[in-house]
Amino acid sequence: MAKPILPRVAVLDDYQRVALTMADWSALAGRVKVTVFHDHLAKPAEVIKRLAPFTIVCAMRERTPLTAAILKKLPNLKLICSTGRRNASIDMAAAKERGIAVCYTGYTPHGASELAWAAILGLVRNIPAEANSVRAGKWQVAVGGDLEGRTLGLVGLGNLGTRVAKVGQAFGMKTIAWSQNLTGEKAAAAGVRLVMKDELFRESDIVSIHLVLSDRSRGLVGAHEIGLMKPTAYLVNSSRGPIVDEKALVAALRKKRIAGAALDVFDTEPLPAKHPLRTLDNVLATPHIGFVTRQTYDIFYRDTVENIAGWLDGKPIRVVEG
């Protein structure tokens, strides 16, 4: 008797080669055939060719977009397992139209706020340059900045923004915030002063962005806002690249209109090899690692395995509605 053909599972964008070690996949043994991909494909035609045989695709956050045009070319696809609570790069309407279930996993939010502070400290205290100097057999190369008494401006005061505000306050910083729906009462509850948008960019020594990418937030920080910043101020973005007008930011950084930027997110990811943000000496750039922590990955892959097992058994799973 011929062996049954098992459903094929594609695990995408496992850059660190850890997907199979972060969870117990034995619950799926003999039930599916799992293939893990460690590279990233940017061209839709290449993505379609790779994923054509698969019944289940496991997407790591927004690394590989699953657009309507791509989903249309994947007739075997029945389930998308996305990590985290939301994934803006999956066309949910197209998936629903084609009868493809989309499920999500749990998530822990502290990683992004912790990275924001690692970036702020690295930027203000010139840590990469100083560390590289020691590695090269040299010594001090710059004079670091200070946080105490300075103003931290938060664009967004949700869960992550509030966490970042608390650390700023612990450093003795003044904290101000703005977002389209932020109220004075909510800001005051976090010990933060609500200000108008332009005032935030004018007053802040560090502007840190903590918004969800949406039609309202796309391009929210443009040439006007960057132009209001002090020449000694820094911009920090650990949320999503398109919230900031990248061309306007690059122009300001090149002309030293602001002191610098710490960026974990970009318009195009991975960041193109010859992109100016890779070489500007007043930029601290990291490769979208805000959520890349052991605890977060443990949750992502554990829940992914549970979702696949539940789907195979016809049991309820964490399905994205709508």
Residue 164's nearest CA partner among 209, 210, 113 is 113
1 in a structural domain: no
Bridge partners of 81?
58, 103
Are residues 265 and 131 located together in one domain of the fold?
yes
Domain harbouring 19, CATH code:
3.40.50.720
List, for residues 171-223, the tens digit of each pLDDT value: 999 999 999 999 999 999 999 999 999 999 999 999 999 999 999 999 999 99
321 in a structural domain: no
Q: Which of 269, 275, 302, 318 is catalytic?
A: 269
Residue 4 — very low, low, confident or very high, per pLDDT cuts 50/70/90? confident
Residue 316 — very low, low, confident or very high, per pLDDT cuts 50/70/90? low
The predicted pLDDT at position 206 comes to 98
Residue 318 — very low, low, confident or very high, per pLDDT cuts 50/70/90? confident
- Give the chain's mean pLDDT: 95
How far, in Å, CA of 286 to CA of 29, rounded? 36
pLDDT at residue 1 greater than cutoff 70: no
Provide mean pLDDT across the span 153-179. 97
Are residues 35 and 180 located together in one domain of the fold?
no
Q: Which of helix, strand or coil describes residue 159?
A: helix
The predicted pLDDT at position 320 comes to 67
List, for residues 89-110, the tens digit of each pLDDT value: 999 999 999 999 999 999 998 9
The predicted pLDDT at position 322 comes to 46
pLDDT at residue 317 greater than cutoff 80: no
Bridge partners of 103?
81, 319
Active site residue 224: no
Are residues 243 and 298 located together in one domain of the fold?
no
18 in a structural domain: yes
2 in a structural domain: no
pLDDT at residue 321 greater than cutoff 60: no
pLDDT at residue 152 greater than cutoff 90: yes
Q: Which of 61, 163, 210, 288 is catalytic?
A: 288
N-term to C-term CA, the chain: 42
- DSSP-assigned letter for residue 6: P
Domain count, the chain: 2
Q: Which two tokens stand for residue 275?
A: 């992109």
Active site residue 288: yes
Are residues 274 and 302 located together in one domain of the fold?
no
- The pTM (predicted TM-score) of the whole model is 0.92
pLDDT at residue 86 greater than cutoff 90: no
Active site residue 240: yes
Q: State the DSSP H helix or E strand holding residue 95, giving kind and residue range, or none if neither.
A: helix 92-97
Give the range of the structural domain holding residue 261, as residue numbers without chain letter. Answer: 110-285
279 in a structural domain: yes
Q: Which of 61, 63, 210, 240 is catalytic?
A: 240
List, for residues 284-293, the tens digit of each pLDDT value: 999 999 999 9
319 in a structural domain: no
Residue 83's nearest CA partner among 172, 156, 22 is 22
Are residues 48 and 147 located together in one domain of the fold?
no
Are residues 260 and 198 located together in one domain of the fold?
yes
Residue 216's nearest CA partner among 170, 156, 159, 303 is 156
Least trusted range by pLDDT, from 7-11, 31-35, 56-60, 86-90 = 86-90
The predicted pLDDT at position 56 comes to 98
How far, in Å, CA of 43 to CA of 59, rounded? 16
